[in-house]
Amino acid sequence: MGRHRTDELDGGYRANEPSPRRRARRGRGRVLVPLAGAVALAVLLGVAAFVIFNRDHDCTGGKLALRVVATPDIQPALSRIAGNYNKAMHSIDSKCVEVTVTKEAAARTANALAAGKVGADFWVADSSLLMESLRTTPAGEALPQIDSSIATSPVVLAAAKAAATKLSGTLQPSWAAMISAANVANVDGPGKKVRVLALDPQKNSAGLAALLAAAGTAKEAGQDKALVGALKELSGALASDSTALLASLTVKSGSKVPVGVTSEQAIYAHNTKKPEAPVVALYPKEGTLSLDYPVTILTKDPAVLKAATDFKQDLNTESAKKTLREAGFRSADGKAGTALSEDKGFTPETPAALDPPDTATVTRMVQTWSRLNLGTRLLTLLDVSGTMALPVPGTGMTRMQAINKIATEGLGLFPAGSEMGLWTFSTHLDGQNKDWKELVSVGPLAESIDGSLRKEALVKTFAQIQAKSTGDTGLNDTVKAAYGQLTKTFQEDKVNTLLILTDGAGNDDPDGGVKNPEILQYLKKTYNPKKPISILLIAFGPDAKKGKTQMEALAKATGGEAYIAENILQVRDFFLQGMERRLCTPNCDG
C-alpha cells in the first residue's frame, strides 16, 4: 500500500522521522509575503493604468450616435473611416461615439436642411460651389457656414481610352476647345468630329464646376457668344449623373468621338468596375476647378457637437487621408495616392487651379443656365413686300431667298420643345387694311399640323413664300398686332420673343396705319418687365442700314436688339446674341 499524506499532522512524514523541509517552508512563507505585496502593487498599478488609458474609452454611459450624411461618391470611404473610428472607442461624457454614414445628393440634403427636415448631425457635401449657389436662394439662407474641406477631386474632361488617341488632332484638352466643339453655331468646327456630353449644373456639382470653369475661360478669351452656343447645345445632351455619362463615353456615336466632363474620382470609380472600355482623364490646359468636399456640422446638441468635432479631427489624420486617397480622391492639398497613377490613366501631379469664382459669379452663371433652359416661344414676322424680290448683289439670291435661308439657319438652333409660329407682312396681305397673315400658328415644333410636324411645316412654308410685287411694308401695324397677341398669350415658363426678318426699309404704308411715334409709344406702354416679350430684329440687304434708327428704336423699346446682317453667315452670331440678351432680360442695358 502507498503512503498516505498527513500534511496537516506531520508534513506528510512519519512522526519519528525528521522534517527537513519545515525550515524551508517557513522560508517560503517569508518570501511570499513580499511577493504578495508586489503582486498587489502590480494589480493596483495595473488598475490605475487601465483607468488612465481608458479615460477616453469610457462607455459606461452607453453610446452616443453621430449621424453623418455624405454625397454618394465619398460615402463608402467615409464609412470605412467611421468603422475604424468606432472600433477605437472614442468617448464623450462617458459615452462611446458611434458614427453612421448615409449617402444623399448634396442638393437634396441642402433642400431638406432649408426646409428644417434634415436628419443628420454632420454633413459632407461634394462642393462649396454648390453650397454658395444654394446660399443665395431664399431657402438657402438657413444653410450653416462650412467648417473645412477633407478631400478634393479636380473636374476634368474624359474620354474612352481607346478613343483618346483619335482626339489629338481634333480636340486638345481645354475648356476653349470644349466650347468650340459644343457651339451649336460653329457648324464647321470640331463639333463635326466630337460629341460633348455634360452634367446638369443644377443637379451635379461637377457639372456646375465645369460650367464655371468654361464660362471663366470664355470671358477671358472673349468667347461669350460661343459659350452661349455651347451651353444651348449642351442643355440637350445632359447625362443624369457621372455614372451614366462615363458609360455613354464607350457608346459609339457614328464617326463622332464622345467627350465628357466629370470629376477625376468618378473616372477612378468607373474604372475599378473593370469595364470593357476604361476611361482616361484629360486635364484642361487652362487649369480647372475641383470638388472640395466641405464639412458642415449641423447639430446643436452639446454632447453630439463634441462628438462631431472629434470625428472631424479624425478625418484629418493621416490614416483617414490615406483611406480617401485609396478611393481615388486627393487630399485637401491636392496630393494624390497610388490610385491616381499614370498607368491608370491619370496625372498624379496636382493640376493647375483656376481662381475660384466669387458668390456673385456663381449665382449669375446658375441664373444663366436656368434662363437658357427655359422653353422658347417665338413668333416670326417675315417681310414679303415688293423689295424682297430684288436680287442681293454677289449672292445669286433674291432678298426673299436670303431671308428664308436666314430663317432656316435660325430654326436649327432651337430644340424640339420650342414653340414657334409664322406670319408674313406687307400691305393688304389678308384682305383690305390688314397687313399681316398667319401662315403657321404658334405652337410646339414637335406638334402635328395637318399630318406633319410644325417644324416641317415651317421649313416648307418658308421655302414656298413669294414676295408680293406690289406690296409695301406695313411693318408697324403688324408689330402692334403680333405684340398684342404675344402679350395676351404670354407663358411664364418660356422666353417669349417677337422675331422680325426684313430687308430693313422700315415702315412704308401708303394707307397710313400706325406711325413710327405711335408704335414706339404702344410698345413702351405695353412692355412689362415682369413678363418680358423682347423684339429681335434681323435685317439683310443693301437698304437695311437706311431703317437702322427706327429698327433699333423698336427693339430697344422692349429690351431687345436689332441687327444688320452683312452676309448670311453672320446670322448665326445674331441668333446667339439674341439668346445672350435673354440671359439679362429685363436689365440688359443697365
Which domains occur in the chain, in start order?
Answer: 63-146+294-327 (3.40.190.10), 155-292 (3.40.190.10), 374-583 (3.40.50.410)
Q: What is the pLDDT of residues 493-523, one digit of tens each?
A: 888 999 998 887 677 777 778 999 999 999 9
Q: What are the pLDDT digits (tens) for 73-95? A: 999 999 999 999 999 999 999 99
Residue 494 burial (10 A CB sphere; 0-12, 13-18, 19+): middle
Per-residue pLDDT tens over the stretch 349-374: 999 999 989 888 888 888 888 777 77
Contact partners, residue 430, CB within 8 Å, separation at least 6 = 436, 437
Span between the terminal Cα atoms of the chain, in Å: 123
Using alpha carbons, list the distances in angstroms from residue 396 to 11, 390, 401, 407. 136, 11, 9, 18
Q: What is the mean pLDDT of residues 237-264?
A: 87
Answer whether 536's CB lies under 8 Å from 555's CB.
yes
Rounded CA-CA distance 251/430 in Å is 53
Q: Which three cell numbers stand for residue 285?
A: 490646359
For residue 586, say if its preceding peptide bond is cis, omega within 30 degrees of 0.
Answer: yes
Radius of gyration, CA atoms only, the chain:
38
Low-confidence winner among 67-76, 425-434, 521-530 (lowest mean pLDDT): 425-434
Task: Please tell me whether the overall predicted TM-score, pTM, comes out greater than 0.75 for this model.
Answer: no
Has residue 491 got a pLDDT over 50? yes
Q: In the numeric block, which cell numbers belong to residue 27?
A: 522560508
- Contact of 398 with 541, CB cutoff 8 Å: no
- The rounded mean pLDDT for the chain is 83
**Average pLDDT of span 234-260:** 84
Calpha distance 542→129 (Å, rounded)? 50
**Class of residue 538 by CB neighbours under 10 A (exposed 0-12, middle 13-18, buried 19+):** buried
**Alpha-carbon gap, residue 344 to 281, rounded angstroms:** 9
What's the Cα-to-Cα distance from 30 to each of 23, 26, 37, rounded to whole Å?
11, 7, 12
Confidence check: pLDDT of 20 > 70: no
In whole angstroms, what separates CA 22 from the centre of its chain?
A: 92
Is residue 130 helix, strand or coil?
Answer: helix
Could you give the CA distance from residue 220 to residue 105 in angstroms, rounded to a whole number? 32
Angle at CA of residue 590, ends 201 and 487, nearest 5°: 75
The residues, ordered by sequence, that sit 6+ positions from 490 with a Cβ below 8 Å of its Cβ are 496, 531, 533
